[in-house]
Chains A and B, each alone.
Chain A
Amino acid sequence: MTRDQDFYAALTHLSKTAYVPGENKRLYDKDISPLKNRMARENKIVESLEKAVELSGLRNGMTISFHHHFRDGDHIVNMVMDTLARMGFRDLRLAPSSLSDVHAPLIQHIKNGVISHIETSGCRGALAKAVSQGLMDEPMVFRSHGGRAAAIEEDEIHIDVAFLGASSCDPFGNANGYSREGEEKSMCGSLGYARVDAQYADNVIVLTDNIVGYPNVPFGISQRLVDYIVCVDDVGDASKIMTGATRFSTNPHDLMIAETTSNVIVHSGYFYDGFSLQTGSGGASLAVTRFLREAMLEKNIHASFALGGITGAMVKLLEEGLVRRLLDVQSFDLDAAQSLKNNRFHQQIDANYYANPYRRGAAVNQLDVVVLSALEVDTSFNVNVLTGSDGVIRGAVGGHPDTAAGAALSVVVCPLMRGRMPSVRERVNTIVTPGDTVDVLVTDQGIAVNPKRPEVKERLEKAHLKVTSIEELAYRAERITGKPDLLPFGDKIVGVCTYRDGSVLDLIRNIT
């Protein structure tokens, strides 16, 4: 007996009460019914969205969130907002990971006071235009993907209820951006941005048009994080969520920029066996991947991993063994989504893992090279990807500042002019990525290297690439386009562009 007492004395944290069958009310009673019956009785599926909202305890003034993996095919945001408006909610604060053209109906909800504030990575189309014209009382807050993840983790953004669309979900909430059972109605691949919301939101409601058998693993979102599941007719328009594999551009202009970019990477000093890279989406960056592939084959160089928004072009490199692993926070096309589903070396990651600036292991910090696009670049190498040459919001911050800061070499790619507008100029409309994190600018009319990186400039010159100063590029553009008139900005601040740590980078004023 003494020996037992000694034993207990050492384990002070144990309750030391003896087990009594049925005594602990927090324990589930043993259920002897077959799984199929239990699944029918105890699942998290709620009969309607209204019911789920009620159960979640949502109140006026609270913050709700969405993900943007369904891109321009998304039905979730509009469906949920219409429902909440009908239910009489007001002053809701929206924190979607991004917004696109399809979200124009939010304009009405803003006018009617259902939505009072929006924090997002991007905004496009009619909604963006209305916001630029001063639709909202509070300015829209723009955050990078890494910045948003950090703000959520630090509780700067506290999500009360997350409404997360999923291409498939089992009755207990294991959710995915694809389906392993039969044909999915819609498919988006990675649920990287939604995973952060699922982890930190007080309540998580998954909306799906495809309930599948338990367990839906490997999962994008774990059942552990999901409170309610709502079955809807469709989560989105499949044709707008995913384009097929994007064709390579045959535009000589795009090809020429892509080839130059590939040459810059090859001679930058960061092209070695085991290097890591991220390229964006769009015709030109797909072509970069193609040219880089040729250089990798020729020089027998493999990449340890490719990161970010993943495209079919990158998947091809994985399948050829030229890239060893893919880290996928967002799948850009059907080939990428299929690969995520089928290839175990194609790993789904969340936005924290991807780009949280406070995470030492954040994947962006492991990048050697990132290729980024730009709407405008200025002579201090600041980049704008958010507002157009007319001053109107029309883009997204995305992972731009995260990857530029994280990668050892950031290469920004843009044509010197777009139509009559110069893309390289004295000052960008809106600073999204600070120039001190941008290393090389590639345009169709020459390459400029940030004076902070003289060693890179030297390497490129040694390889006989056309390196010039950024001032010279801006001068060349202006010689052809002339100096654009000043934009008709008003006094109202309609947008705040924040940096990765939440500090304010730039303000966006209304366009009159």
Chain B
Amino acid sequence: MLFVPGNNPGMMSDAHIYGSDALMFDLEDSVTLREKDAARLLVYHALRTIHYGECERVVRVNPLNTPYGKADIEAMVAAGAEVIRLPKTETAQDIFDTEAEIERAEQKFGIPIGQTRMMAAIEGALGVVNAYAIATASPRLVAIALGAEDYCANLKTSRSLEGSELFFARGAIVVAARAAGIDCIDTVYSDVNNEEQLVKETQAIKQLGFDGKSVINPRQIKPVHRVFTPTHEEIGKAQRILAASQEAAARGSGVVALDGKMIDRPVVLRAQRTLELAYASRAVFEEEEL
């Protein structure tokens, strides 16, 4: 998911060409107070004018306790944003309130109720403690994400290279997302010139169970994709596991075996996920013989 400042028309006009899975237009922290209105209008027109192709369009709105939150939500729902991202989510109530605003806007503009989905960013200790309640607060919610900078400030610590200060929050968010059956997205890595560390961090959060990572520069997209894209060996193995599983099912047998080893159901599920990722990352294409 690529962050795009909501006050930069140049970046907005071609944000989709770099191959990120989602774009997050930001009306919140990257826009100064003086430009809130202009950015809202700009993102509204961008969403209505520019063909963003296969990129999912997410807008980070200002919190409802600011003078801009309501207007942001109304404009973005009207513009047809696919996902509204709520920043600094602390409790399930934040989600309820936002959902109510979204629904009101959907009614107003004749958009099918429930079409606009939601994403919650957890950026403080209270949010982490409430992660599961937040994750299950609305059927619109498709993902929760970690916002590390605010979280670290809230925790009275700072970000380190190895990320030990984020360990608990990351674990809590992955577990909450999995328990709720939604996705979890990791925070940004802000040093755009340090690709090596970006890759290390991405490998670490992938291992923790995250589904993806936020990026602030198009140059970060490729390294992140490389980490998340299954290797040819992994794809090959997954294909063989699925083939064996299908064969077992055809035989009516509950026991799947490959190379003389028994394969558990979790292994089959993981193989399925590997192939889904492979399709999503275009490591293989649907029409190709598998």
**Which A residues are within 8 Å of any B CB, using their own CB?**
250, 252-253, 255-256, 416-417, 419, 444-445, 464, 476, 479-480
Report the stretch among B12-20, B30-38, B58-66 that lies at the interface.
B12-20
Docked-complex contact A252 and B217, CB < 8 angstroms: yes
CA distance A444 to B53 in the complex (A): 13
Contact A479 B50 (CB under 8 A): yes
1/0 contact string of B2-22 vs chain A (CB within 8 Å): 000000001001100110000
Per the 8 Å Cβ criterion, residues 213-250 of B in contact with A are 217-219
CB-defined contacts of B10 to chain A, threshold 8 Å: 419
A256 near B18: Cβ-Cβ < 8 Å: yes
A sample of 15 more A-B contacts (CB under 8 A), given A253-B14, A444-B17, A479-B50, is A252-B217, A252-B218, A252-B219, A255-B219, A256-B17, A256-B18, A416-B14, A417-B13, A444-B14, A445-B14, A464-B282, A476-B51, A479-B51, A480-B49, A480-B50
Do residues B49 and A464 form an inter-chain contact, with CB atoms below 8 A?
A: no
Chain B interface size, under 10 / 10 to 19 / 20 to 34 / 35 or more: 10 to 19
**Which A residues are in CB contact (< 8 Å) with B13?**
417, 480
B218 proximity list for chain A (CB < 8 A): 252-253, 256
B285's partner among A255, A464, A476 (CB-CB below 8 A) is: A464
Q: Do A479 and B49 have beta carbons less than 8 Å apart?
A: yes
Give chain B residues whose Cβ lies under 8 Å from the Cβ of A445.
14, 17
Q: Quick check: A250 and B51 within 8 Å, CB to CB?
A: no
- Nearest first, the 3 closest Cβ-Cβ pairs linking A and B are A252-B218, A252-B219, A444-B17
The distance from the CB of A57 to the nearest CB of chain B, in whole angstroms, is: 58
A476 to B50, CA, bound (A): 8
CA distance A255 to B49 in the complex (A): 26
Q: How far is the CA of A480 from the CA of B49 in the complex (A)?
A: 7
Expressed in whole angstroms, the minimum distance between the Cβ of B16 and any Cβ of chain A is: 8
| Residues from chain A with Cβ under 8 Å of B50 in the complex | 479-480
A252 to B218, CA, bound (A): 6
Docked pose: A252 CA to B282 CA in angstroms: 20
Taking each of A250, A252, A417, A479, which has the highest tally of chain B beta carbons within 10 Å of its own beta carbon? A252
CA distance A476 to B218 in the complex (A): 21
Could you pull out 6 A-B pairs where Cβ atoms are within 8 angstroms? A253-B218, A417-B13, A417-B14, A444-B14, A445-B14, A464-B285
Chain B minimum-CB-distance residue to A415: B14
Q: Could you say which of A250, A417, A479 contacts B219, with CB atoms under 8 Å apart?
A: A250
Nearest CB to that of A445 among chain B residues? B17
Give Cα A431–Cα B13 distance, bound, in whole angstroms. 28
A464-B282, A480-B13 known; A252 vs B49 contact (CB < 8 Å): no
